[in-house]
Structure 1
Amino acid sequence: MTPPLRIGVIGLGAIGQSLLRAFTANPEVQVTAVCDVNAALAETTARPLAASAWTDHRQMLGAADLDLVYLAVPPRHHHAIALEVIRAGRHLLCEKPLALTLGEAQDMQRAAQAAGIVHALNLPLHGDPGIETFRRLVAGGSLGVLRRAELTLVFPQWPRGWQQNPWIGGREQGGPIREVGPHLLHVILTTLGPVARVWAHTEYPAGDAVACETAAIGTLELAGGAQVVVSCLTNVPRPEQVSLTVYGSEGTAGLVNWAVPVAAVGQAPLEAVPVEGPPGPAGARLVQALVSRVRGGPGDLVDFSMGVRIQAVLEAWEQSSQRGIWVDVEQA
């Protein structure tokens, strides 16, 4: 029998715990080591898994027999820890955004490619049947010429109730554009094409130099000239809304509630579109693809090159907001 893939998890917060369940549900995987700066959390997580518990990731990398490491720590730590994982020769799954800066993301991509390891970014919308149906609607020609797209992010509370931690509401690492944006930027980049330049305006709480944005508006200009208008608003008495709408000369296609495809021809109202493709949890898809790729087989993963492309858009957004001008997006 083929031995199970041995996994180490660094970072046991809400996101790390969520994917940990997907790892443990796969019979081809064994979580053999977990690490968190909270020793009690590491111990309680490790015990039912019969895994070793660590508070120092360097010690874990040096002592535990691992095939792949899942890095689920806050973004400011991705670069340093990822490079140590790569130097240790372990395959690597990293949380999004890939890093804190574009330079760090590029370092990680170059190191992973040079080491010849499997490297992937955790973007749960990747491979979602609803997203794939939306892509086919946009690519099928029924929309006509692309006129404009609109991305809307509305959150009644930020950080969200399940996402309370010391950094997610901070300006350096958190905020809805940096935290939620990568999911939809991935959809935009893979459906509509490269973003050439960005204009953005961001609002922050008055008198608070460290809190993340409460609102933002901006425009992503695609390489073909069409524009994606972005509107983000938090802490308003409205239900959460994450939607993407693409307007063509002949029809409209969109995503509502993150991944539900809708479409209309002409002036007809938008209606839900039957989803094509087998359903299934995003974590299960990701874990199975990782198992296959590590074993030398096929597997549909978002690698670090896409992480760099997303980071380039985020960095241009931040620079534009600071400078009040259009900023070109660095292309790979």
Structure 2
Amino acid sequence: MKRQDSVSPVRVGVIGLGAIGQSLLKALTAHPEMQVTAVCDVNAALAETTARTLSASAWTDHQSLLAAADLDLVYVAVPPQYHHAITLDVIASGRHVLCEKPLALTLSEAQDMHRAAQAAGIVHALNLPLHMDPGIETFRRLVREVGPLRRAELTLVFPQWPRPWQHNPWIGGRAQGGPVREVGPHMLHVILTTLGKVTRVWAHAEYPAHDPAACETAALGTFELEGGSLVVVSCLTNVPRPEQVSLTVYGSNGTAGLVNWASPVLAWDQGPLEAVAVGEPRVPAGERLVHALVSRVRGEPGDLVDFSMGVRIQAVLEAWERSSAVGSWVDVPST
């Protein structure tokens, strides 16, 4: 696609106006070089109300939006089962695309999307808010400092699932949702970019006996990394404990970790884990993402997570689900 005029705003369409779409919408509208010109949701009243506040056009059908609206970039914020079809339509229309995570429901779908985006020569990005977070960057430095990896532990605990702010029923369903599929991509991104490739997976998931459509309530598993080191995974929901999303890395000389998603901690020898100061100020994740999108759409440098990472994450998730189904180790497909 041709380089954008540096004076005119980047025109954005948003497809999907649920909790996540609405959240990033604030960052999109706050950027002085972006203009949300069209919004789309199957809920006509929600689309109209949102559009009115933005002086944008409202749509209930994404294909009609793509055919009629003047857009440079489209944000796909619909439930995961619709990512594949809608994103391919966006790519076919020649627009740049930002997609929610996980990239798709299956590895083959994710690979389709990546291939199509590459062939079209468009900017393609995945919304992973931990990307370029100063706490994560500090954690990566600490992992290098504590010496060769012995083992890592990923812990996910949620007192309620879906969480109170998640009003989308699919998040609690087995077909699309669940904590591993919903939260897992964030931490998998950190693991893959910090500890290396996951080569095989063992997993066991527990589901409610009375509701075959419900997502997992608990899970245990292991990621084996290239080189043989292990990441032990524990997930538990609906327990009387505060939310916990943490990653602990045991090195030969010390221990590095993340608590509360992105706060780095460190321990030397047998000492306690202690908070580590993050050297630079934290810019809100949405602001970082939107700034990078504007730069890339204008043909300038911008650090984004592209669909290739979405494919890598999807390969691990698919191996996890297959392992849980068959009860044995499963190799992660090569991507």
The bucket for the TM-score relative to the shorter chain is over 0.9
Show the counterpart of 2:30: 25
Q: Deviations over 1:224-266 (max 9, x none)?
A: 1100000000000000000000001110000000000000110
Q: Do structure 1's residue 221 and structure 2's residue 221 form an aligned pair?
A: no
Partner of 2:74 in structure 1? Answer: 69
> Alpha-carbon deviations, 1:204-239, whole Å to 9, x = none?
001311000000000000011100000000000000
Q: Give how far 1:277 is off.
A: 2.5
Residues 1:147 and 2:170 are matched in the alignment: no
The list of structure 1 runs, each at least 4 consecutive aligned residues, that deviate by more than 4 angstroms after superposition, is none
Which residue identity is paired with 1:28? E
Output the TM-score relative to the length of structure 2: 0.98
Query: 1:144 Cα shift?
Result: 1.9
Structure 2 residue runs of 5 or longer lacking an equivalent are 1-5
Of the three residues 111, 118, 126, the one matched with 2:123 is 118
Find 1:309's aligned residue among 308, 312, 316. Answer: 312
2:169 is paired with a residue whose SS is coil
Q: Which residue of 1 aligns with 2:10?
A: 5
Shift of 1:145: 1.9
1:286 counterpart (275, 286, 289)? 289
Aligned-partner Cα distance in 1 for 2:211–2:48:
36
Deviation at 1:331, TM superposition (A): 2.0
Measure the CA separation in 1 of the matches of 2:148 and 2:39.
50
Q: Which amino acid in 2 is paired with 1:6?
A: R
* CA deviation profile, 1:162-214 (whole Å, cap 9, x unmatched): 00212000000000000000000000000000000000000000131100000
- After superposition, the CA RMSD in angstroms is 0.7
Aligned to 2:3: none
What's the TM-score, normalizing by structure 1? 0.99
Residues 114-160 of structure 1, C-alpha deviation per residue, up to 9 Å, x if partnerless? Answer: 00000000000001000000011112xx3122100000000000000
- In the other structure, the counterpart of 2:257 is 254
Map Cα deviations across residues 61-99 of structure 1 (whole Å, 9 max, x no partner). Answer: 000000000000000000000000000000000000000
Separation of aligned partners in 2, 1:278 and 1:79: 36
Secondary structure of residue in 2 paired with 1:187: helix
**Residue type at the aligned position of 2:22:** Q
The 5-angstrom pairing of residues 119-268 of structure 1 reads 119-139=124-144, 142-268=145-271
1:16 aligns with 2:21: yes
C-alpha distance in 1 between matches for 2:154 and 2:262: 13
List per-residue Cα deviations over 1:98-118 (Å, max 9, x = no partner).
000000000000000000000
* Count of residue pairs brought into register by the alignment: 330
Letter in 2 for 1:230: V
| In structure 1, distance between residues paired with 2:252 and 2:264 | 19
